[in-house]
Each structure stands twice: as structure tokens, then as C-alpha cells.
């Protein structure tokens, strides 16, 4: 069964869904393609009416949407509410700004007039993960629908009710049939969708392995793609950092969404002068997190999204220890029902340890001690990933200098606040390519057409 709602808090299966049939898939793609021909002709104002209405409906029923996310993937309820509200912000952002972002851009040739014109390209196929079951959908639906494209989506197998709820949201907001379509399809059917000539672009947020497969298939079909493939973000603590402020961000940065965030703080790189003090404060703060029902606002540690997510992470920790890493905190499953893991800190992770290169998608922090700023930057850059990162210092100018030398798509100085609709999101290296959100996010799947008007004599 590809799609099932199984609560990671109690292990109970609440609902299952069958993959759609080949005939149903064909009908969905045909409807999306037909819808594109009319949706593309709508004005920005007409499209904005639908997208803004979807944002308003999200805000009107925050709790209903949030509880579904918490049920299916274990996100703590206050975090789920925050995600729903942020998703509404994203939809509103593109409803308000798409016309400006895609307005014709005047050029200045030596003779005549010229401009760049932005136009939609067709049906976009999006493959999305479970860790932010609404936000991931809002950041594709908002820009691509406002650009005039239509969207078909394969969501993660463990959040089918979130996927269906978001599809219904767009229909309730007035989107025509085919503008936004959720596809309950298998991986094999996903390949068929990429190959289908009606699909004009492919977007993925997922693992490196998935990215390689989907990008290769899109490339074989000469279709543009965008890839967001995770990260192993550095959290750099300089010797002049305000440790009280820094530790609060360290805990949030590693433990938000139970650590299941692509741009979470994962590698803590601390200058030797403050390393012992930081590690002690960080450990004390992590120990305070208490497991419980994610529906309870008092719970500070929720479960991982699935039982397999937990067992895979525990295997990663065991492998790291077998290769010389030391467990400074946690490292085990919590002895209680549900897919809970202790907040964990690993030290002494050497370059020959698999953990040095891996992404830990859960409540596991890697701690590194370095002698100076240059060593911190070199270690931060010694990664196959390049999504985000942060640096903490009392000197903003120093922080910006360090940030400019770290090879990632995003850097944050004295914060890890990536949750703004107008901030482009994306990375380099194995973290993928392309950008979502901000004005860049709406440019990924549009045709940039040059139009020139000039009275020129044809060459002889």
C-alpha cells in the first residue's frame, strides 16, 4: 500500500488509499492539460482571486488542517499550526506579487524597442515530501498557478489526507478542475508522468537518490527541473558569540519538526575557546525536551514521522559509533509507545566516518571543535551538501564575512529564520538546483521570451 495514514505517536493505521488506475491517471493528465489552455488565459487578478481565497480558507480552518498533519506525520500541534499559517502567507504573497514579478522587462537595444516577456509553459509535475505536508505544496502551488501553469502532484505516501485536503482547498477556493491535481500514484507511474509529453516541467523536494533518478529522467525528456535535495547545514559558533542566544537557536535549529527539516542545523562547528561551554549548555537544553502526544501543546518532543524513519536513524547512529564517534547525549530509542528518539549529540566524528558525509534527518547533532575561524569555514565547506548554514557572533560584520565564504545557497547570521515567503530557498552541490519562494520561485517554469521591434534592413 503506497498511501496510508499511520500515526507515529501510537502506530495506529487510520486510513489507507489505493493507487489510482492507469485510466484514472490518464484522465487526470488530460484534464490538467485541457485546464492549462484556459487557465493560462486568465488575468493575474483572476488567478489571484482563487489563490488568495485558498489562503483565507487555510487561515479560517487552521486547527483542522494542523491536526491532520500532526496525526499523519507527528509534527507537534503548535508547529503544525505555524506551518498552516505560513502556507497561507505564501499563497497570499504570490497572489499579490505575481503580476509584478512576471511583468515585461524593457530592454535597451541600440536600434528599436525590445522587452522580455514571461509566459507559462504548461503542466508541471511536482514530487513533494512529508516533512512539511502543506508548506511544500503551497510553495509550488502559489507561484506556478499564479504564473499560469497547471500543477499535478505526487505527495509522500505517509500524508495522503494532507495531500487530499490541499487539493480540496484549491477546489473550494474556486480553482477549475485540472488546475491543481493530487495524484495517488506509484513510483513506476511517476516515471510515466515525467515521460508524458503533456508534462512540461518537473520539481522535486526529496533525497539525493530520488533527485538523481528524477532529474535524469526529466533531462532525458529535455524538460526543465528544479531539485531541493536536503542538506547537512553547518551551525558555526565563533568565539565572541552570545551563548545564551546561540544555544536557543541551536536547540530550535536542530529540534524543530523533530529535526526533520532539510535546512536544519546539523553540524555544530564551535571554536575551541567556547566549545566546552557551548556543548554543556546545548546538552542541558536538549535534555529538557520531553516526549509526549504531539496533539498536546505542552509536548516539547514529538515522534519521528514513521517507524522506518526512526529505525533508519538509529542505524545511522550505530554505524557512526562503530566508526569511532562518541555519544555525548542520547543515541537510543525512547522506551515508550510511538516512534520517539532521544535528542542525540555525537562527537569525535572523523572524515573517514560515514557520519561525516551523511545527512541525519532527525534529532541527531554532530559536534565539531575547531581552532579558529578559517578552520570553521573549511569544515563547513567540506560537505557534499550546500543548502543552508548559520554563523553566530556578536560582530555582525564578522558574521557576514564568514557567511560570504561558506559554500551554500543560504546563510543566516545570528538566526536560522528561513520562513519568509519573500526569501528564495534552495542550495548547491548535492542539495540540488533552482530556487523556490521569493521572486525567483516564480521564474523556474516560465518561458522568457525576447520580443524586439525595429525597422532594420535585411542583410544583403
Q: Which residues are catalytic?
A: 228, 262
List the grid coordinates of 343: 535528542
List the grid coordinates of 296: 498536546
Closest by CA position to 418, among listed 437, 397, 400: 437
Taking residue 457's Cβ as centre, other Cβ atoms within 10 Å add up to: 5
Catalogue the E-assigned strands of 128-191. Answer: 150-154, 180-182
Residues 297 and 77 sit within 8 Å (Cβ to Cβ): yes
Q: What is the DSSP string of 402-434?
A: HHHHS-SS--EES------TTS-B--EETTEE-
Going by their DSSP bridges, the two strands 446-453 and 113-120 should be labelled as antiparallel
What three-state secondary structure class fits 159?
Answer: coil
From residue 411, give the alpha-carbon distance in Å to each of 391, 397, 399: 8, 14, 10
Residues 162 and 69 sit within 8 Å (Cβ to Cβ): yes
Catalogue the E-assigned strands of 7-149. Answer: 13-17, 105-107, 113-120, 123-127
Burial of 390 (0-12, 13-18, 19+ CB in 10 A): buried
Residues 299 and 346 sit within 8 Å (Cβ to Cβ): no
Amino acid at each position: 500500500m503506497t498511501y496510508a495514514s499511520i500515526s507515529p505517536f501510537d502506530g495506529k493505521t487510520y486510513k489507507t488509499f489505493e493507487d489510482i488506475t492507469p485510466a484514472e491517471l490518464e484522465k487526470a493528465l488530460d484534464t490538467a492539460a485541457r485546464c492549462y489552455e484556459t487557465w493560462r488565459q486568465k488575468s493575474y487578478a483572476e488567478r489571484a482571486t482563487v489563490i488568495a481565497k485558498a489562503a483565507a480558507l487555510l487561515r479560517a480552518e487552521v486547527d483542522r488542517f494542523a491536526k491532520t498533519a500532526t496525526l499523519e506525520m507527528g509534527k507537534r500541534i503548535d508547529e503544525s499550526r505555524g506551518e498552516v499559517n505560513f502556507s497561507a502567507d505564501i499563497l497570499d504573497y504570490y497572489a499579490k506579487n505575481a503580476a509584478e514579478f512576471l511583468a515585461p522587462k524593457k530592454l535597451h537595444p541600440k536600434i528599436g524597442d525590445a522587452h522580455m516577456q514571461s509566459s507559462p509553459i504548461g503542466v508541471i509535475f511536482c514530487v513533494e515530501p512529508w516533512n512539511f505536508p502543506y508548506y511544500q505544496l503551497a510553495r509550488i502551488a502559489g507561484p506556478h498557478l499564479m504564473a499560469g501553469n497547471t500543477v499535478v502532484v505526487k505527495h509522500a505516501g505517509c500524508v495522503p489526507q494532507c495531500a487530499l485536503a490541499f487539493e480540496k482547498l484549491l477546489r473550494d477556493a474556486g480553482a477549475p478542475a485540472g488546475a491543481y491535481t493530487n495524484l495517488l500514484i506509484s513510483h513506476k507511474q511517476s516515471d510515466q508522468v515525467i515521460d508524458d509529453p503533456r508534462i512540461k516541467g518537473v520539481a522535486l523536494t526529496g533525497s539525493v537518490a530520488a533527485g538523481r533518478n528524477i532529474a535524469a529522467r526529466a533531462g532525458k525528456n529535455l524538460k526543465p527541473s528544479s531539485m531541493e535535495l536536503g542538506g547537512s547545514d553547518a551551525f558555526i559558533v565563533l568565539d565572541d558569540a552570545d551563548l545564551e542566544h546561540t544555544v536557543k537557536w541551536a536547540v530550535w535549529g536542530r529540534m524543530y519538526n523533530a529535526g526533520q527539516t532539510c535546512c536544519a542545523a546539523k553540524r555544530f562547528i564551535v571554536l575551541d575557546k567556547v566549545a566546552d561551554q557551548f556543548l554543556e549548555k546545548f546538552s542541558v537544553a536538549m535534555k529538557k525536551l520531553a516526549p509526549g502526544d504531539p496533539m498536546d501543546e505542552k509536548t516539547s518532543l514529538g515522534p519521528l514521522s514513521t517507524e522506518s524513519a526512526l529505525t533508519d536513524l538509529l542505524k545511522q547512529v550505530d554505524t557512526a559509533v562503530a566508526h569511532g564517534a562518541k555519544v555525548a547525549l542520547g543515541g537510543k530509542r525512547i522506551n515508550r509507545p510511538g516512534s520517539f528518539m532521544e535528542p542525540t549529540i555525537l562527537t569525535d566524528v572523523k572524515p573517514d566516518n560515514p557520519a561525516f558525509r551523511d545527512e541525519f534527518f532527525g534529532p541527531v547533532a554532530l559536534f565539531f571543535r575547531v581552532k579558529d575561524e578559517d578552520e570553521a569555514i573549511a569544515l563547513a565547506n567540506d560537505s557534499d551538501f550546500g543548502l543552508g548554514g548559520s554563523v553566530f557572533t556578536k560582530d555582525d560584520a564578522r558574521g557576514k564575512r564568514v557567511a560570504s565564504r561558506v559554500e551554500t545557497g543560504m546563510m543566516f547570521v545570528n538566526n536560522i529564520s528561513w520562513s519568509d515567503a519573500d526569501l528564495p530557498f534552495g542550495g548547491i552541490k548535492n542539495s540540488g538546483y533552482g530556487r523556490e519562494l521569493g521572486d525567483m520561485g516564480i521564474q523556474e517554469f516560465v518561458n522568457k521570451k525576447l520580443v524586439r521591434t525595429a525597422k532594420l534592413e535585411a542583410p544583403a
